[in-house]
A and B are shown apart, each in its own frame.
Chain A
């Protein structure tokens, strides 16, 4: 088994409270794997973990034991001689994953899919309806796969497909944002401008999925909604009992996403309805800081003259951390950072490498194609700096006196005033080759500076995503 180290272990002299645990790859453990098309597959362990590495489950179990909450965390999960059951972990996810429809994909159903792979249609992804094990299922039970595994929902390969009944994998737009939106609008009444409250209907109008008994929009299902429709009578006594236990004080509030029995989902689907309701698609995200995206200059901008008109959002406490983008942007403008760092720096992907590149730079055929970290510079910018193609250059970043050493690729692919770097390199830091720090045989064929050692402050207010794509730099010949 080949293993790849990320760059973190080779900068081990840092004292920044980061601990590394030896984790094995997914080839060395059983378990469900979800792909980006929302389909799941059951993966089987191919080989035992190498060296002292452990799989994620066993590592979590050992950590939980040390912290003293293993009893609660693994209450429903079998652990035998320190080995955690992968099947039980998925069952535990199934028991709680109602809101994402991650509830119907039991290990037994996924394993049946693996056994019967050949039966699934390559285009529709569906198995023949008469198959005893996987009949009518979409391959990998793409979530939402509603209800309990016993409900045998086939999975939903296409979200928002009203041409299919929900029980066959169809779906509507989720009524995620309530049933109405109150908007204050200025209107002319009796020749005078007055402000009036208007109620916009957020539910679908005239649109519903095939087989729906409600021929209109409807809210997310709760016990109260079921009662209003008279459908609560379809709940089994056991389901009612579970709903009572979820919220003993006010069971009416228990919804499709919190009902641990799956009964609310089951009954809604039995009446042809999507458990999450039937709403309108949202084009204006009114609860985001910018309901419709507007121009905002990046924090380290090459156009400080635009910051006054298009500033970043004000400083705010977001989730657990403060976001001080505004302060940093203002300081950068006041200090005239752009004079010292006049080039825009951005980064991107090469076809030869993937992600941080640790794995693909360790593949000899791929590594041969790109053997050096480089920065793309426009011929005009290169001429100004006396840089020729292939020269070694120092690139300095706009924060923390960061710098990186790499080769220059002079090309018209990149515009004047912009520098571009691939983000797949690591293993060099501030001009120093760290190859000797890798354990013997674990060093990739190709090492180089990492572009993100040069990127600067900036976090998206809604998602916390860092700003790795737009900053400033300066380049000089090394």
Chain B
């Protein structure tokens, strides 16, 4: 069974924000909510590194473990989805997530949080809406996955730093880069997300 994963090869990320823009445009994500972002560390110093981060669709996702209304769940493809009808905007998942993926629109004064929003792997939502329907799009964004397509962010990545798809396949692509081309390991977040080492 294919298991969907993201892999960002930080050795290749050039901080161009094309993934961020592609995500926003594909899913009509409102201003202020970032399902994906590019983080740069050691800016302007030796060892500067950029990495594109979103929900990693973890094995045994900690967000799901802490959700008091159990609205977050992994699908059989390993995509972590959630149901906005059930979400109460408590923010627990934000604290549990090691990647800062969950986002919340502000819906009132005093920073009142709305329903959680996060990357869906462009696979629609975890609610009762029909896959690919206008209702689903309005709540969760695009359902490219249902059409057999991969997330827009990775499809747009100009350096192929950000890979998305079957973990076996993208793992092989990355292994090829590391073994054949002698890269260092720049697959940021894999250890945390998938509890395993990248073979080098």
- Interface of A with B (CB < 8 Å)? 351-352, 364-366, 368-369, 411-414
Interface check B187, CB cutoff 8 A = no
Q: Is the CB–CB distance between B24 and A368 below 8 Å?
A: yes
With A351-B15, A364-B31 as contacts: A369 and B44 at CB distance below 8 Å:
no
Complex contacts, A414 vs chain B, CB 8 Å: 44
Complex contacts, B25 vs chain A, CB 8 Å: 365
Of the residues B24, B32, B44, contact of A411 by C-beta under 8 Å: B44
Interface check B185, CB cutoff 8 A = no
Complex contacts, B20 vs chain A, CB 8 Å: 369
**Chain B residues bordering chain A, tally (CB within 8 A):** 13
Interface check B181, CB cutoff 8 A = no
Docked CA distance A163–B20 (Å): 45
Interface check B59, CB cutoff 8 A = no
Nearest residue (CB) in B for A376 is B44
Complex contacts, A364 vs chain B, CB 8 Å: 31
Complex contacts, A351 vs chain B, CB 8 Å: 15-18
Q: Is the CB–CB distance between B45 and A365 below 8 Å?
A: no
Complex contacts, B45 vs chain A, CB 8 Å: 412
22 contacts between A and B (CB under 8 A): A351-B15, A351-B16, A351-B17, A351-B18, A352-B17, A364-B31, A365-B21, A365-B24, A365-B25, A366-B21, A368-B24, A368-B31, A368-B32, A369-B17, A369-B20, A369-B21, A411-B43, A411-B44, A412-B43, A412-B44, A412-B45, A413-B44
Complex contacts, A411 vs chain B, CB 8 Å: 43-44
Q: Which of A365, A411, A413 has the most CB of B within 10 A?
A: A365
Complex contacts, B44 vs chain A, CB 8 Å: 411-414
Docked CA distance A436–B43 (Å): 37
Docked CA distance A29–B59 (Å): 54
Within B31-84, which residues are at the interface with A (CB < 8 Å)? 31-32, 43-45
Extra 18 A-B pairs, beta carbons < 8 Å, given A365-B21, A365-B24, A412-B45? A351-B15, A351-B16, A351-B17, A364-B31, A365-B25, A366-B21, A368-B24, A368-B31, A368-B32, A369-B20, A369-B21, A411-B43, A411-B44, A412-B43, A412-B44, A413-B43, A413-B44, A414-B44
Nearest residue (CB) in B for A368 is B31
Minimum CB–CB distance from A366 to chain B (whole Å) comes to: 6
Complex contacts, B24 vs chain A, CB 8 Å: 365, 368
Minimum CB–CB distance from A369 to chain B (whole Å) comes to: 6
Minimum CB–CB distance from A247 to chain B (whole Å) comes to: 53
Docked CA distance A24–B24 (Å): 29
Nearest residue (CB) in B for A379 is B44
Minimum CB–CB distance from B47 to chain A (whole Å) comes to: 12
Docked CA distance A351–B32 (Å): 20
Minimum CB–CB distance from B72 to chain A (whole Å) comes to: 26
Nearest residue (CB) in A for B45 is A412
Minimum CB–CB distance from B83 to chain A (whole Å) comes to: 27
Complex contacts, B16 vs chain A, CB 8 Å: 351
Docked CA distance A369–B34 (Å): 10
Nearest residue (CB) in B for A364 is B31
Docked CA distance A165–B70 (Å): 72
Minimum CB–CB distance from A90 to chain B (whole Å) comes to: 34
Q: Which 3 A-B pairs have the closest CB atoms?
A: A412-B44, A413-B44, A365-B24
Complex contacts, B32 vs chain A, CB 8 Å: 368
Complex contacts, B15 vs chain A, CB 8 Å: 351
Minimum CB–CB distance from A353 to chain B (whole Å) comes to: 11
Nearest residue (CB) in A for B14 is A351
Nearest residue (CB) in A for B17 is A369
Complex contacts, A369 vs chain B, CB 8 Å: 17, 20-21
Minimum CB–CB distance from B12 to chain A (whole Å) comes to: 15
Q: Which of B17, B24, B32 has the most CB of A within 10 A?
A: B17
Docked CA distance A447–B43 (Å): 26
Docked CA distance A369–B32 (Å): 10
Docked CA distance A414–B43 (Å): 10
Docked CA distance A13–B51 (Å): 47
Minimum CB–CB distance from B59 to chain A (whole Å) comes to: 31
Complex contacts, A365 vs chain B, CB 8 Å: 21, 24-25
Docked CA distance A366–B16 (Å): 11
Q: Which of B16, B21, B45 has the most CB of A within 10 A?
A: B21
Minimum CB–CB distance from B16 to chain A (whole Å) comes to: 5
Within B151-187, which residues are at the interface with A (CB < 8 Å)? none
Docked CA distance A414–B21 (Å): 26
Nearest residue (CB) in A for B42 is A412
Docked CA distance A366–B17 (Å): 9
Docked CA distance A185–B191 (Å): 70
Docked CA distance A365–B18 (Å): 10
Docked CA distance A411–B16 (Å): 18
